[in-house]
Structure 1
Amino acid sequence: MIKTRDMTTGSETKHLIRFALPLLAGNLLQQTYNAADTLIVGKYLGDDALAAVGATGSITYFFYTLCIGLSIGSGILAAQLFGAGRLERLRRSIISSGAVTAIFGVVVSIVSAVAAKPVLQFLNVPPDLLGRSVTYMRIACSGTICVAAYNWINAIMRALGNTTVPLVFLGVSTVLNIGLDLLFVMVCGFGVGGAAAATIMAQGLSAVGCIVYCFGSNKNIRPKGDEFRPDAVLMKKCMTMGIPIAIQNGLVSVSMIALQRVTNGFGNTVMASYTVSMRIEQFVQQPFASMNAAISTFTGQNIGAGKQDRAVKGLRSGVMLSSVFAVMMFVVFLILGKNISAFFVSGQDVISISGKALILTGAFYIPLGMIHTVRGFLNGAGDTAYAIVNGLSEVISRIGFSLILTNIAAVGFWGIWITTSITWVVTAAVSCHRYFKGKWKLKAV
């Protein structure tokens, strides 16, 4: 029997920490997928191959996060139903959201694989890197359905307060991914395509294993009789909750794609530096993302149980925890930024630029933490429509500031990382404004 966690009673801070820690471990393992690609490609295939892989990062993230947005919507609906004790409705919502996720995942997989080459050409990927970038992206994006399936079952288990089971399956698949990376790249000589294939195969196995085990072991989510049939009303509700978040994720990805396009214009060294700093930053963002998910589930359960004041107390605890972590990471990068970069790549110019970039963006981790905590609260409360506004603020800031700053001679390519920092400040301010307006109080599903 898989354990669930009722977060409507007890210490808010303890609930958030106990929920977030296994989730953090899982998120870090998830990032190990990317890090394994970066490390093995950078060390064994060279800086140009790393730049080719990095050039696809923003666009593959775009397609992945569309599916992840839908899964978050599924989790919000499930968390509120679980908090309200409506288990029969919960089971129907899980089946219905699973159907939506499967359809959407297949469509996105096909579209993204077909669109790989024209999109990368639009992004100004240098001709000498284009072939390898297209290969990596086509293989990585064709497995988007695997990403969708894993994030869906993960969101459902989070809604029930369980982050341990997905962690176990992800741990196994991470080891498998590293092994396949080494086999495909170093032994078989499949190049960047081998790294992409290893990641997708491991993700798919993790998704299948987790789904089979969770449905077989938890009677709370095991459908009975006609509950196996997707419910049209719940499918619509899932899309109503998830599509705004998917759009937000898409908008954020569009802004990242635009920034990648600007980065590509500065040549292979800056592209590789940006790739390294982004990979490292993805690790740093995981505690923030884990707190986002913890607050979202905590808020969803308590809003479902009618405990609005308790949900607000949880947000305050989350902000405090994320701010402490932000300061710690800035100190780490101030002291060890270049050493951490050197772990991923050998080129001294790349190490120097990426190490300084980590210090620059690290000074703005407190606003980054605010984005994650407030966004998680608003999502859990059911105020997902605001997600589109939040995404637009990132698009406008990231595109606008990058075009201005990188064209100032004294700033040059450093405008790429300055833009990221300013974007966090603007988006955090917009998120806080939405919270204090209080519209989330009327959005419970």
Structure 2
Amino acid sequence: MSAKYVKDMTEGNVVSLLVKFSLPMLIGNIFQQFYNIIDSIIVGKFVSVNAFAAVGATGSLNFLFFSVCLGMSVGIGILISQYFGAKNDEYVKRTIANSVYIIAVIGVIMSALGIILARPILEIMQTPPEIIDDAVIFMQVTSAGTIGVAAYNALASILRALGDSKTPLFFLVMACIVNVILDFIFVLGFDLEVFGVALATAISQALSALGCFIFAVRKNPYFRIEKEYRRANRELIKKCIRIGVPVAVQNSMIAISCIALQCVVNGFGKNVVGAFSATNRIEQLVQQPFNSLGVALSTFAGQNMGAGKVKRVKEGYHKSFIIIAVFSVLMLIAAQLGARYIMQLFVNDEEVITLGANALRITSYFYITLGMIHITRGLLNGVGDATYAMVNGFIEVIGRVGFAPLLVNIAFIGVWGTWLTSGLTWFITGFASFIRYKQGKWEYKSLVK
């Protein structure tokens, strides 16, 4: 097999491999957050504060519908990385072929559910009346594009499992550029407001999936799949589902916990919703290095687990912790000193800026535990510890659902309890993840023995 679009991570310097692998993903994730921020700035600056709050109010709900597709993509990638590490090329190809059937079915189902259930769920969430119509429009249009999200993420997960983190970056950057251009055309040119922002996002995601597929088939030898490998393989599909479903459930429960917290936020009115939306965007940007390193560690752990190199997996985890600790301290300093300036990038309203700046100062103390979640989750997913994925999701539900109503009703905490809930949830989830790692049960979870 050609080495140009694959990378064996079972040999070589651990830190160098993790950093080189995670950098393209980090750049891609930053670009992705960049165009999310552009969406927010265009809506907040050129449409209205209500429209800005409406887009932000759908974030957790969108993630809920995307999470099933993302979970299955992760499961497929984990299995492929372990077969690749075990040098079993036949089953790498068989798994890629069978992933098409899984993602096609899941993508269509989640698209339909998102469109149908958008308004009922937003009403249950007590979305403020002045923003609910825009929120429904944004939710339905982006849900229509879920199949594009599913396809791109499955392709990206497969390519990364084979050690190629650069190709998904290229098509993600392309999507970002197209998204920004379409934002200006639809919103500023045709005055389509929230509908235009959602449409730009859906189109750009579909284009990135199509481009990534064409490129992979042409350039990556593992995507040139012989006819005998294309048949549906019940055992492989079951294996992908067995790994992917717990990750999907984990993501869904995280989304549900975020929706529960959003319901509490909605009760404080549109200014708090706007501030919460802005701080969520900022925190999504802050955690991109954590997320990129976690995905890199997942691929690293999967390949090395397939090769039987457990000691090397542990070394990767320890080095990753040092990296996230250093970055967390730098982001804590930035949040404490520059919170107001950061908020001013998103909105002009003084009350929203003040609320958001103070909130950022609160959550920044918990960044290191957020990083711990990402790297530990990455390792445990990569080795195939599917059971813990669901436990992880339950812990986040318990944290957000349990802390929020308690903290906001304490007189001297009040509205700040919504952001303190996020921080404390990161803390207990990160701590529980570390305990699972130290127990060592993951060392016997190889999927390709």
State TM-score, norm by structure 2.
0.98
**Residue 91 of structure 1 is aligned with which of 70, 90, 93?**
93
**Residue 213 of structure 1 is aligned with which of 200, 212, 215?**
215
Deviations 1:342-365, CA, capped at 9 Å, x for gaps: 011111111111111111111111
**Residue 366 of structure 1 is aligned with which of 365, 368, 382?**
368
**Residue 397 of structure 2 is aligned with which of 395, 398, 405?**
395
Superposed displacement of residue 32, structure 1? 2.3
Superposed displacement of residue 140, structure 1? 1.0
Q: Over aligned residue pairs, what C-alpha RMSD do you find?
A: 0.9
Superposed displacement of residue 172, structure 1? 1.4
**Residue 430 of structure 1 is aligned with which of 429, 432, 438?**
432
**Deviates further, 55-64 or 30-39:** 30-39
Superposed displacement of residue 314, structure 1? 0.3
Q: Secondary structure at the match of 1:115?
A: helix
**Residue 288 of structure 1 is aligned with which of 287, 290, 302?**
290
In 1, Cα distance between equivalents of 2:354 and 2:224: 53
In structure 1, the gaps of 5 or more residues are none
Conservation of the 8 A alpha-carbon contact between 2:5 and 2:219: no
Q: Which amino acid aligns with 1:11?
A: N
**Residue 39 of structure 2 is aligned with which of 37, 41, 44?**
37
Superposed displacement of residue 381, structure 1? 0.8
Superposed displacement of residue 37, structure 1? 1.3
Q: Secondary structure at the match of 1:444?
A: coil
Deviations 1:299-354, CA, capped at 9 Å, x for gaps: 00000001000010000011111111111111111111110110111111111111
In 2, Cα distance between equivalents of 1:132 and 1:221: 41
In 1, Cα distance between equivalents of 2:48 and 2:296: 39
In 2, Cα distance between equivalents of 1:12 and 1:81: 20
Q: Which amino acid aligns with 2:300?
A: F
Superposed displacement of residue 112, structure 1? 1.0
Q: Secondary structure at the match of 1:212?
A: helix
Conservation of the 8 A alpha-carbon contact between 2:343 and 2:356: yes
Superposed displacement of residue 235, structure 1? 0.8
Q: Secondary structure at the match of 1:385?
A: helix
In 2, Cα distance between equivalents of 1:426 and 1:158: 30
Indicate the residue corresponding to 2:250 in structure 1.
Answer: 248
Q: Secondary structure at the match of 2:10?
A: coil
Structure 1 segment 38-437 matched on structure 2, within 5 A: 38-437=40-439
Superposed displacement of residue 33, structure 1? 3.0
**Shift >2 Å, 4+ stretches:** none
Q: How many residues align?
A: 445
Corresponding position: 1:18 with 2:20 = yes
Superposed displacement of residue 191, structure 1? 1.1
Identity %: 43
Deviations 1:103-159, CA, capped at 9 Å, x for gaps: 101100001110000000001011111111111111011111111111100000110
Conservation of the 8 A alpha-carbon contact between 2:69 and 2:107: yes
Superposed displacement of residue 384, structure 1? 1.5
Conservation of the 8 A alpha-carbon contact between 1:97 and 1:234: no
Q: Which amino acid aligns with 2:267?
A: G
Q: Which amino acid aligns with 2:315?
A: K
Conservation of the 8 A alpha-carbon contact between 1:90 and 1:221: no
**Deviates further, 308-317 or 344-353:** 344-353
In 1, Cα distance between equivalents of 2:163 and 2:445: 22
Superposed displacement of residue 98, structure 1? 2.1
Q: Which amino acid aligns with 2:440?
A: G
In 1, Cα distance between equivalents of 2:200 and 2:217: 26
Q: Secondary structure at the match of 1:33?
A: helix
Q: Which amino acid aligns with 1:437?
A: Q
In 2, Cα distance between equivalents of 1:75 and 1:169: 18
In 2, Cα distance between equivalents of 1:409 and 1:138: 38
